[in-house]
Amino acid sequence: MHVDIGAALASAADPGVERATLDDLDERVAAAHKRIEQGRDDGEFGYASLNLPEATDAETIRDAVAPVADADSVITVGIGGSALGAKTITEALAEDPDSHVVLDNVDPEHVRRTLDGLSLADTAINVVSRSGTTAETLANFLVVREAYEDRGVDWTERIVVTTGESGPLRALADQHDLPTLPVPEGVPGRFSALSAVGLVPPAILGIDIEGLLTGGQTAADDLAPSLYDSPAYAYGAMAYALEEEGATVNAVMPYAERLESFGEWFAQLWAESLGKDGRGQTPARALGATDQHSQLQLYRAGHRDKVITFVRPRERADVAIPDPDHEDLSYLAGTDLGGLIDAEYEATVASLPAADRPALEVEIDRLDAENLGELLYAMEAACVLVGELAEVETFTQPAVEWGKNATRALIRGESTDETAVIDERERLRIGETESL
């Protein structure tokens, strides 16, 4: 992986980072690296995530999915970190990216349409929940199970379960003797892409999960006490320094259609890990070249509160552009779509410092298993580094727990501190006619 931070230096952009500031920050990066390595060595909660490329056993995953390896498609029932890693990997690497569908929302219309569009006899189920009590996951799973039964398909023959050591989902798996894989200990869901949590659907679909782990290990081996020697730390240090300078929004813009879900995965990683104590960059999602025509105006001329992170593979398959046979389009003659999107990338990156706005560039050699594994791991390491520099609790998510507790109480009809807040919150409804 390669990171270019030049377009985010103070000489190129405002907000930007002075080279002297970066040199001073490098001493803190060295201290943070030491803390991270200690956490990894001790297997501490959260830090253990960065050991997954070595700790994850690809063969065990392959054995668990063997009974459903004939499936044409996979439906993942999970939410957040239990689904986004797998979604990112399969979208990027599956021969047919539509072969993996995700139920990570309880919108009834979406669930119904998703199930109606699948041949369930040819579809494997991947259900993921550490606790086995996640409301959205268990509700969707019950709906999925009933759909299989209604169509006369034995769901117990089409499922792989990834869960913790106890809980309702574990009990169900034991009751039916279902293939089951563990959620790794000490690993928050958003950091679990390179474990069974993220690798079951790719394994079912024949994706090179060993290559993903190899790429992750490459990124792990590249971590070093200096940001100038580590692409992951260079990205993390610049993201932190730019936030300090006022870039409180980080818009991630991949220039590859198959990396669109990567932006979604990154958004959870960044938001849930770093949004604490009144700080944390707000992640935004864009897609190149599409969003040059919908968001770039804002990035170049809006509030000076953003850094744009560009992500692209350096090599890609190509499609020739036919001769347009029109004078106004003659510049396209003899070109191809790869050359066009690369030109769009270069122009868009350059357009930001031309408008005195910061940009960061992240490039991988090509979009394959090893490079994707390297990218995922590097962004996780970058996130952990930012947490160390910002002195926040990277691996917790207390604000999320409040909403979970409130949801459970509302469903059960209980009165709690959370439901009292819901009942008493101020409302000013527009468009309703009061009864007189």
293 counts as catalytic: yes
On whether the CB atoms of residues 49 and 191 are closer than 8 A, the answer is: yes
On whether the CB atoms of residues 372 and 212 are closer than 8 A, the answer is: yes
On whether the CB atoms of residues 251 and 396 are closer than 8 A, the answer is: no
404 counts as catalytic: yes
Relative to beta strand 282-285, strand 359-366 is unpaired
Considering the candidates 293, 326, 424, 432, report the single residue annotated as catalytic. 293
Task: Tell me the C-alpha distance between 14 and 356, whole Å.
Answer: 6
Token pair for 322: 């036919």
Relative to beta strand 306-315, strand 359-366 is parallel
- Select from 315, 246, 313, 311 the least CA-distant residue to 281: 246
Task: Tell me the C-alpha distance between 436 and 429, whole Å.
Answer: 16
- Select from 236, 273, 276 the least CA-distant residue to 395: 273
Neighbours of 269 (CB within 10 A): 25
Considering the candidates 91, 210, 272, 361, report the single residue annotated as catalytic. 272
- Select from 268, 271, 255 the least CA-distant residue to 309: 255
Task: Tell me the C-alpha distance between 118 and 395, whole Å.
Answer: 36
- Residues classed as catalytic: 272, 293, 404
